[in-house]
Structure 1
Amino acid sequence: MKLLMIEDNVSVSEMMEMFFSKEGWDATFKLDGKEGLETFLACPDEWDIVTLDLNLPSMDGMQICREMRKVSATVPIIMLTAKDSESDQVIGLEIGADDYVTKPFSPLTLIARIKALHRRADLLTTDPVKTAAEEAFDIVTKHFKLSTKTREVYIDDYLIEGLTPKEFELLYTLSKNPKQVFSREQLLSLVWDYQYYGDERTVDAHIKKLRQKIETSGRQLIQTVWGVGYKFDDAGDES
């Protein structure tokens, strides 16, 4: 795995370098926000994971995340935030981060989050050589088509662009179980692959961004079941 860590705390970087080395990961460390972004933009397709501190010299993590998402909708991004900055965590998820870890954190916790995020993203990696059968869509409903091989989603033949890895996984989980109502806790377990211990803002933030992108097609296929959670219902949307 090739990992970019943008973190201005030298002690944290040195500590994580030892843990990443034990995992056999190829990690690059940048202490400055602007320099970290430039490193990413030089070759955005080569990074498997980015960990991004919120407070950085020259450019903060929010700005960096926005710029990264302009050139890559798929690279998994983990944002590192202060423990009491709940609003920053939600904003970070809304602008494209896939996960966040609060400081101070255990190195093993960050390692586990990275592995979980990479494992989920790796399951959706496109095979460079595809057969005709592999090109077929995994899910086809009245207005909706989704392919895990090409990571493409169409609504009424309109391509939904700019889905982040977690948004795609969330949509895939809901759409492959149409009309089934999922609680936030279930979605946290299924999509994030570990427990958030009741932190439901993560699901709500991703659903909000996902709906905004789906609405560009003129339809809204994700419905809120008040007091319970969310469901995918193609037949129920006739707008």
Structure 2
Amino acid sequence: MKKILVCEDEAAIRDFVVINLTRAGYDVVEADCGEAALQKYDENNGDFDIAILDVMMPGIDGFQVCKELRNRNGGIGIIMLSAKTQEMDKVTGLMLGADDYVAKPFSPSELLA
């Protein structure tokens, strides 16, 4: 079973993502901020296949978490979630090591694809 780290500061969106991933058979660990995501990553000894990260969060933002996770584990899949849809935001995420960038709002099928 693939293990996914979900980091999203908005509870309703986080719950939506976690519920849909869990229903699809994934083992999901959730965090509500960048600091918590890095802590959960360490607590699980980096044993994640994928990280789904919100971009705009208080404290450590998703871009910083992306960069840190990529430095720690080059093989982890990283998907950025954001309402920021400007090309430069997408390019920034991809340059920092993200594998994909999904714009909010999104459907469960888009996330699971």
TM-score by length of 2: 0.91
Aligned-partner SS, 2:76: coil
Q: Which residue of 1 aligns with 2:19?
A: 18
Instruction: Structure 2 unaligned segments of length 5 or more: list them.
Output: none
**Residue in 1 aligned with 2:103?**
102
Aligned to 2:72: 71
The alpha-carbon deviation at position 39 of structure 1 amounts to 1.4
1:27 aligns with 2:28: yes
In 2, are the aligned partners of 1:41 and 1:68 still within 8 Å (CA)? no
1:3 Cα offset (Å): 0.6
**Pair member with larger Rg:** 1
Q: What is the match of residue 89 of structure 1?
A: 90
Note the 1:166-205 alignment, pairs <5 A: none
What is the Cα deviation at residue 85 of structure 1?
A: 2.5
Task: Work out the CA distance in 2 between the residues paired with 1:82 and 1:16.
Answer: 15
What is the RMSD of the two structures over their aligned residues, measured on CA atoms? 1.2
Mapping for residues 22-171 of structure 1, pairs under 5 Å = 22-42=23-43, 43-44=45-46, 46-112=47-113
**Corresponding pairs, count:** 111
Which runs of at least 4 in structure 1 moved beyond 3 Å after TM superposition? none
CA distance in 1: counterparts of 2:91 and 2:109, whole angstroms: 23
- Match of 1:102, as an amino acid? A
Matched position secondary structure for 2:51: strand
Q: Does 1:8 align with 2:25?
A: no
CA contact (8 A) 2:6 2:18 kept: no
By relative contact order (CA 8 Å, sep 6+), the higher-ranking structure is 2
Indicate the percent of aligned positions where both proteins have the same amino acid: 39
TM-score relative to the length of structure 1 = 0.45
Q: Residue deviations 1:179-229, cap 9 Å, x none?
A: xxxxxxxxxxxxxxxxxxxxxxxxxxxxxxxxxxxxxxxxxxxxxxxxxxx
CA distance in 2, matches of 1:105, 1:84: 12
In structure 2, C-alpha distance between the alignment counterparts of 1:34 and 1:74, rounded to whole Å: 21
